[in-house]
Structure 1
Amino acid sequence: MTLSTLLLAFVGHVTLFGAIQHTQSQLQEYQALRSSLALATTPLGQTDLNGVPVASGTPIAVMSIPRLGWSEVISEGTTPSILRAGPGHRRDSVFPGQAGTSIILGRAATYGGPFAGLSALVPGDTISVITGQGDNKFTVIGLRRAGDLLPTPTSPTGGRLELVTADGPPLAPTGILYVDAALSGTAHETPGRIFQPAALSPGEGAMQTDPNAILPFLFALQWLAIAIAGARWLQRRWGVWQTWIVAAPVILVLGATTADAAIGLLPNLL
């Protein structure tokens, strides 16, 4: 019963609750980004206006892809928890529209699957990314997978956007898909960087898991098992229907909590 409840909660979380959570997070982040753009306080680099490193999860841009018909707010950071809210900017790369390559990671199936349709993009498609420096237009130059040739390096005044997600069937990826897009026009001023790829945490790379997710999962699983054992004990004394009227809501909530913690153990691009 524990396994059945967990699997049912996991499927419900992936197909429904995760999508609702993603939509709610996007609405909140859009309002926060809109306010920071109006106040000219949107981060433009690894540090804010006071020289303090930008907090993980801070909204930094909004990206639109006409072919896919959606717009998504991009947050700073690429840990599994941050990517639940939408696409995330890899902290060691430049911001979209600046000189160099800006790397954006996004989920392909869970939590709304914002990058589910990236494989449908073709060279010539356009991508728009609005940051604190303005509206940046990119043109897709190609899609690549493991073993494909890397695009030629950008010029000192050029910019590039690299979108990264899981490749293959939903929840059964066969690899990583990369979409490369070139900036139209000259890159914006690029602030200096205070850390490099070596400073990223283990959970921020592509297809990485949350190293801190195992303890919350085991804790939630323990309470789910206790609740189900308690329901079986009460059933012998109260009867089936009386027990499940009381126990079912508790088991469903604990099942959803356990499933939510279990997703942290999966790769961040699923």
Structure 2
Amino acid sequence: MRIDLHTHSTASDGTDTPAELVRNAAAAGLDVVALTDHDGVGGHAEAIAALPAGLTLVTGAELSCRLDGGDGFSVHMLAYLFDPLEPELARERELVRDDREPRARAMVAKLNELGVPVRWERVAEIAGVGAVGRPHVATAMVELGVIDTVSDAFTSEWLAGDGRAFVEKHELDPFDAIRLVKAAGGVTVLAHPLALKRGNCISEGAIAELASAGLDGVEVDHMDHDAPTRARLRGLAADLGLLVTGSSDYHGSRKTCRLGEFTTDPEIYGEITRRATGAFPVPGAGG
């Protein structure tokens, strides 16, 4: 059984539509895929309608969080199988989404000041109907030949958390995110927590505090974690009683990762579904 619990569609910053994503997931030999667009659930209905027989969809989102307030740094929280209509969590997700366009415009302005002729109109065109974010800005930079790949933008030189063109946005406190997702019947997993190339990383002590606050798991097997980092995280998860997941963080053609590049153990997936009360996995019916 092959399970990928972290993917993105055009509803945020992926290049596959939700329908294309689930069809591609089935073609890649996956049995279960989670659609976890940034701070939104807008792609779920389309994905469910197109869900092929033999593939199960886990509904979710990747929540933007900030540890230690304004002087802290961003962390991402994967939320699975929560009730999308729970009002408090829905309100927080809306606040984050509403802040995305002003933030992206401000990043474009900073890049222009640095001599990079990115145009806001092109960034908006790349984003399309999705929630605009840094990968869309990075794609425009690739088109201009400023960088070679989207991943190259996520450094201190450009758009990483300590980058010259980085702009903060409204983000949840991760402890609040855990509380809100649990209140909505969902399960929380800390996404790529030690991805060093993305900038500042969360400390092991902070992960322990989040575990004490109810964090369910940690994403260990991820393209931005090398083998020693994965081993370190596995040991920490065992010490803290956290679930260990593996995922592709698939963004279509925007990143080099492939669907199913890393996967989650079926027993862990079963435990996630047992803990969730806000929603249930959706089995494909040949859509």
The question of a shared fold, defined as TM-score above 0.5 by the shorter chain, is answered with no
TM-score (norm 1): 0.25
Q: Which protein has the larger Cα radius of gyration, Structure 1 or Structure 2? A: 1
- If asked which structure has higher relative contact order (CA below 8 Å, sep 6+), I would say 2
